[in-house]
Chains A and B, each alone.
Chain A
Amino acid sequence: AQSVAQPEDQVNVAEGNPLTVKCTYSVSGNPYLFWYVQYPNRGLQFLLKYITGDNLVKGSYGFEAEFNKSQTSFHLKKPSALVSDSALYFCAVRGASGGSYIPTFGRGTSLIVHP
């Protein structure tokens, strides 16, 4: 069975500082990995995905994530945080092979950026 762990319920960072939101996963075979952001009372917005290729994936709003196969991690990063980045962040995984299109989401990490 596939699973996603987001070990931190909340991450606090000062505006202008780098941020990291952690994600580790478990899946059979090669993974497809995703990051989404959710603002209050809104649906999920796609940030970035890893399908294949370069381990460093660049996405929307200056976010990037690094795929690390040996550590089964896909941490979300941004060099300089903005107050407007404050939101709920979800990591998701699904298997790359076969007919399984079912993604599994983590429980989410609340990012709070302080002015």
Chain B
Amino acid sequence: ETGVTQSPTHLIKTRGQQVTLRCSSQSGHNTVSWYQQALGQGPQFIFQYYREEENGRGNFPPRFSGLQFPNYSSELNVNALELDDSALYLCASSPDRSNTEAFFGQGTRLTVV
């Protein structure tokens, strides 16, 4: 157990809808990163938050947005869902923004129909 929890574990949404995924970081960790893992692929970095500010973003469109709260928990929001957004979404927390020590949650499986 890494101490990083994600909710929900599974989710089915319709194309065009919006979704919010949640992540609770490991105690003492001030950095959270989100990843998209499509079937048969490695995780792709979406963005990272350090002390409530975004400090790194991968090649994802603006409809992927996030928040980090004062308790360092985090949300990933995806607007205007597309079929290709179907994937496992992983959250990872780190004790600092260098991200050399990341602890992953179990993921949220999103299916867009």
- Distance in Å from the Cβ of A93 to the closest Cβ of chain B? 11
Which partner residue on chain B sits nearest A88 by CB separation? B42
Kindly count the residue-residue contacts between A and B in the assembled complex, taking CB atoms under 8 Å apart: 60
Which partner residue on chain B sits nearest A90 by CB separation? B42
Q: Considering the complex, which residues of chain A in the window 44-80 have a beta carbon less than 8 Å from any beta carbon of chain B?
A: 44-46, 49, 51
Residue with the greatest number of chain A CB neighbours at <10 A, chosen from B4, B57, B102, B109: B102
Question: Apart from A43-B104, A49-B101, A101-B98, what 20 extra A-B contacts exist at CB < 8 Å?
Answer: A36-B104, A41-B109, A42-B106, A43-B4, A43-B92, A43-B107, A45-B2, A45-B104, A46-B101, A49-B100, A51-B100, A90-B43, A94-B99, A99-B56, A100-B56, A101-B48, A102-B57, A107-B41, A108-B40, A108-B41
- Distance in Å from the Cβ of B94 to the closest Cβ of chain A? 9
Q: From known contacts A43-B90, A100-B56, infer whether A106 and B42 are also in contact, taking CB-CB under 8 Å.
A: yes
- Distance in Å from the Cβ of A4 to the closest Cβ of chain B? 8
- Distance in Å from the Cβ of B26 to the closest Cβ of chain A? 12
- Distance in Å from the Cβ of A27 to the closest Cβ of chain B? 14
Does A18 interact with chain B (Cβ within 8 Å)?
no
Seen from chain B, the residues whose Cβ lies within 8 Å of a Cβ on chain A are: 2, 4, 6, 40-45, 48, 55-58, 90, 92, 97-107, 109
Does A35 interact with chain B (Cβ within 8 Å)?
no
Number of interface residues of A (CB under 8 A): 24
Does A105 interact with chain B (Cβ within 8 Å)?
yes
* Cross-chain pairs A/B with CB under 8 angstroms, 13 sampled: A43-B90, A44-B43, A45-B104, A46-B102, A94-B99, A100-B56, A101-B97, A101-B98, A102-B48, A102-B57, A102-B58, A104-B45, A105-B43
Q: Tell me the bound Cα distance from A94 to B104 in angstroms.
A: 17
Which residues on B sit within 8 Å (CB–CB) of A7? none
- Distance in Å from the Cβ of B25 to the closest Cβ of chain A? 13
- Distance in Å from the Cβ of A99 to the closest Cβ of chain B? 8
- State whether B41 touches A44 (Cβ < 8 A): no
- Distance in Å from the Cβ of B42 to the closest Cβ of chain A? 3
Q: Tell me the bound Cα distance from A98 to B8 in angstroms.
A: 35
